[in-house]
Amino acid sequence: MPRPTLCWVAAPGLEGLEPPALAMAAGLDLDQGGALEAAVVTVPEVQAPDKLRARLLGRPVQWLDLAAELGGGGEGHRGQRAAAALSRAAGRASLGTLPPLYSPQPNQRVLVAGQGLAALAAARQAALLGHPVLWALSGDDPAAAGAGEDASQVAGLAAGLPEGIELAPQTELTNLTGAGGSFTAWLKGPQGTARQRFGAVALAPGGAYRAEPAPPGLAPDLSRPLSACQPASLASAQGWRQVAILAGVGQPATAQGFARALATAYALQAQPGVQVTLLFREALVAAPQGERLYRQARQAGVLMARLGDGEPRLADQGRTLVWQDQVLAEDLELAPDVVFLCEETGAPWPGFLDNNLLWPARSRLLPEHARLDGGRTARAGFYVLGALRGTPAGEDRLAEAAAAVHDLHDLLGGGAAPLPAVRTLTCARCLTCVRVCPHGVPEHVEDHIQPAPAACLACGICAAECPAHAIAPPGWSTAELMEGLACGLAAAPAPAMVLMACGQSAMPAFAELSRSGHVWPAGLLVLPLKCAGRVGLELILRVLSLGAEGVLVAGCHEGMCRSVTGNLRARLATGQAAGTLSDLGLGPEAVSFLHMANNQPQALAKAVEAMYARLGAVE
């Protein structure tokens, strides 16, 4: 076992501490500039001086953010806390690191499937960044625009296509497996189906208009989709006098759909002899120019009818619309010559994504999630863009495609976490990791588990769930964590408690509190994690068996986990641990879980305080 060295880099928040004494307390040698086997550094890698980084190259290093873990308090108090944190790091560093078992290069090719603004922008940007792009077009023309898109904008972008885009006209993506850096796609073209490998895949079908449903009972010959009145002069030609437009009545509209209804209403109203009534529940004016369009249409004479629930009612065999005016409290009637139904853009969800052996359910793959923006899905390297995602046509689609391409460029260029290490000899081939990894990283290939090269986020869910301890992202195996925690707990003054802190929510909040001088209990040991999903029942129980008197697990709010289920798994494990404790006749209050966001430091401080109050009460 290497004996680690303490490399003390001074940083704000570490003032007044004595490195030699701390090194001694943590069982570390203090760096004298000599040769190093393994090291513990007091600052994150980006903050370390270049020289030190160069010296540590290729050695097992624990980069701490000691100031973030420490907090305020008297010198003795901070010294105790620093010694415990350094001991934890020392324990982990003493194990060295496992060399990666295999490290394939991520495939650099990008598949863009679809047509229209989003597909075009994605293909362009990926090619500009040097990725070989295969663009599978549903039709023949790369300049074809999707529904609602500005044809001249699309044509303009298509005119200057950069090098490196290979066009595959009339080609459909029929099946897809894999994850970031290693996808296999089945492409069906005029020459038959071919299988090809890609590093990243963007799905961006052009999209079509879909009209909202007509009110049940409306005479069928009356209703038409909104596009059917283009050009507007059609109205007079058809002899329509009373025109009704329903916008967001049969189903909720979007601001874009509503703006289009407003523009159409205005154009029709300008035709001689035509009176337009726009019927809606909410005026959705949030699209660019929306409010101006609304006022313009009203000033031009379009009648605005605001409907309540269950309206419009129908009379006269479905030929008359009836609703109550909200101010006059009187029924109003309209017998239109034609009823136009507002349209929204959309695209059908591809069938291969419904294969639940290969893909998670749509709600897991593409949840409405504040962290999964920029076209990203839960599966790293796989993007859903444009109409299929419901992104409004225009600049928003360009922005989304650009963000997606930056993300894939970063991933394929080494931005993903290092590959999880799989110990093939101990692996039981139970496929638990394949099932639980939210990002689709482990694949079962030729009777072994092979991780995709550019998709792992080091959430640690596989490591928490694998029954054989055979898989973990480097540095995150149970053995490594436990070695560190054992040393840390040995150094922490009683009562000792462990905070298992998610790196997206709890840890940034903890660091903020520490930096502003919050005084943490002396025996509080922090375990900074990438994701709370690394916490499993085993980890909690083993920490308790080492003498920790309490465990607090803190993760993101439900629906905010970057790894989708990490927080829920951690919460479940915490509940199981509490159950086990009460089965054993011990106090279940020794473990608890906190949902929080990185901007809620007070919630974390309160939970730590409450935990300590409970520990005191139990004693």
Binding site for ligand SF4 (CB under 6 A): 286, 370, 420, 422, 427-433, 437, 439, 441-442, 449, 451, 456-462, 466, 468, 470-471, 473, 557, 560, 597, 599
Q: Tell me how far, at minimum, the Cβ of 272 lies from other proteins, in Å.
A: 28
Closest among 125, 290, 286, 288 to 204, alpha carbons compared: 125
Going 393 to 396 to 402 to 406, the CA torsion angle's sign is negative
Structure tokens belonging to residue 308: 């309540």
Please state, in angstroms and rounded to a whole number, the distance separating the CA atoms of residues 289 and 258: 11
**Residues numbered 517-556 forming contacts with other proteins, rule: CB under 8 A:** 556
Partner touching 129 among ligand SF4, other proteins, none, CB below 5 to 8 Å by kind: other proteins
Q: Choose between 403 and 490: whose C-beta lies nearer to ligand SF4.
A: 403
Structure tokens belonging to residue 590: 């020794």
Closest among 420, 454, 463, 476 to 569, alpha carbons compared: 463
Of these, 85, 89, 134, 253, which contacts other proteins (CB under 8 A)? 253
Q: Tell me how far, at minimum, the Cβ of 471 lies from ligand SF4, in Å.
A: 4
Are the CB atoms for 83 and 496 separated by under 8 Å? no
**Residues numbered 126-145 forming contacts with other proteins, rule: CB under 8 A:** 128-129
Please state, in angstroms and rounded to a whole number, the distance separating the CA atoms of residues 114 and 385: 9
For 338, phi then psi, to 5°, come to -155, 145
Q: Tell me how far, at minimum, the Cβ of 53 lies from ligand SF4, in Å.
A: 25
Partner touching 413 among other proteins, ligand SF4, none, CB below 5 to 8 Å by kind: other proteins
Structure tokens belonging to residue 532: 């709370």
For 347, phi then psi, to 5°, come to -145, 150
Please state, in angstroms and rounded to a whole number, the distance separating the CA atoms of residues 550 and 562: 26
Distances, alpha carbon 94 to alpha carbons 69, 98, 453, in Å: 20, 12, 28
Q: Tell me how far, at minimum, the Cβ of 324 lies from other proteins, in Å.
A: 11
Structure tokens belonging to residue 321: 């619309």
Q: Choose between 225 and 374: whose C-beta lies nearer to other proteins.
A: 374
Partner touching 84 among ligand SF4, other proteins, none, CB below 5 to 8 Å by kind: none
Q: Tell me how far, at minimum, the Cβ of 368 lies from other proteins, in Å.
A: 4
Structure tokens belonging to residue 268: 């029709």
Are the CB atoms for 199 and 180 separated by under 8 Å? yes
Q: Tell me how far, at minimum, the Cβ of 169 lies from ligand SF4, in Å.
A: 36
Partner touching 284 among other proteins, ligand SF4, none, CB below 5 to 8 Å by kind: other proteins
Going through 14-114 in order, the beta strands assigned E by DSSP cover 29-30, 38-41, 61-63, 110-114
Q: Which stretch binds other proteins (CB under 8 A): 135-143, 210-218, 348-356, 363-371?
A: 363-371
Q: Which residue's entry shows tokens 């641990």?
A: 577
**Residues numbered 270-289 forming contacts with other proteins, rule: CB under 8 A:** 282-286, 288-289
DSSP-assigned states of every residue in 232-287: TTHHHHHT--EEEEEESSSS---HHHHHHHHHHHHHHHTSTT-EEEEEESS----S
Of these, 291, 311, 337, 589, which contacts other proteins (CB under 8 A)? 291
Are the CB atoms for 154 and 123 separated by under 8 Å? no
Q: Tell me how far, at minimum, the Cβ of 536 lies from ligand SF4, in Å.
A: 12
**Residues numbered 566-585 forming contacts with other proteins, rule: CB under 8 A:** none
**Residues numbered 307-336 forming contacts with other proteins, rule: CB under 8 A:** 326-327, 329
Distances, alpha carbon 50 to alpha carbons 63, 159, 324, 557, in Å: 14, 46, 74, 38
Partner touching 337 among ligand SF4, other proteins, none, CB below 5 to 8 Å by kind: none
Q: Tell me how far, at minimum, the Cβ of 183 lies from ligand SF4, in Å.
A: 16
Partner touching 470 among other proteins, ligand SF4, none, CB below 5 to 8 Å by kind: ligand SF4
Q: Tell me how far, at minimum, the Cβ of 299 lies from other proteins, in Å.
A: 11
The site for other proteins, by CB under 8 A, has a size of: 72
Q: Which residues contact 100 (CB under 8 A, 6 or more apart)?
A: 418, 419, 421, 474
Site membership for other proteins, residue 264 (CB under 8 A): no
Partner touching 155 among other proteins, ligand SF4, none, CB below 5 to 8 Å by kind: none
Q: Tell me how far, at minimum, the Cβ of 281 lies from other proteins, in Å.
A: 9
Partner touching 435 among ligand SF4, other proteins, none, CB below 5 to 8 Å by kind: none
Of these, 432, 504, 565, 574, which contacts other proteins (CB under 8 A)? 504
Q: Choose between 172 and 512: whose C-beta lies nearer to other proteins.
A: 512
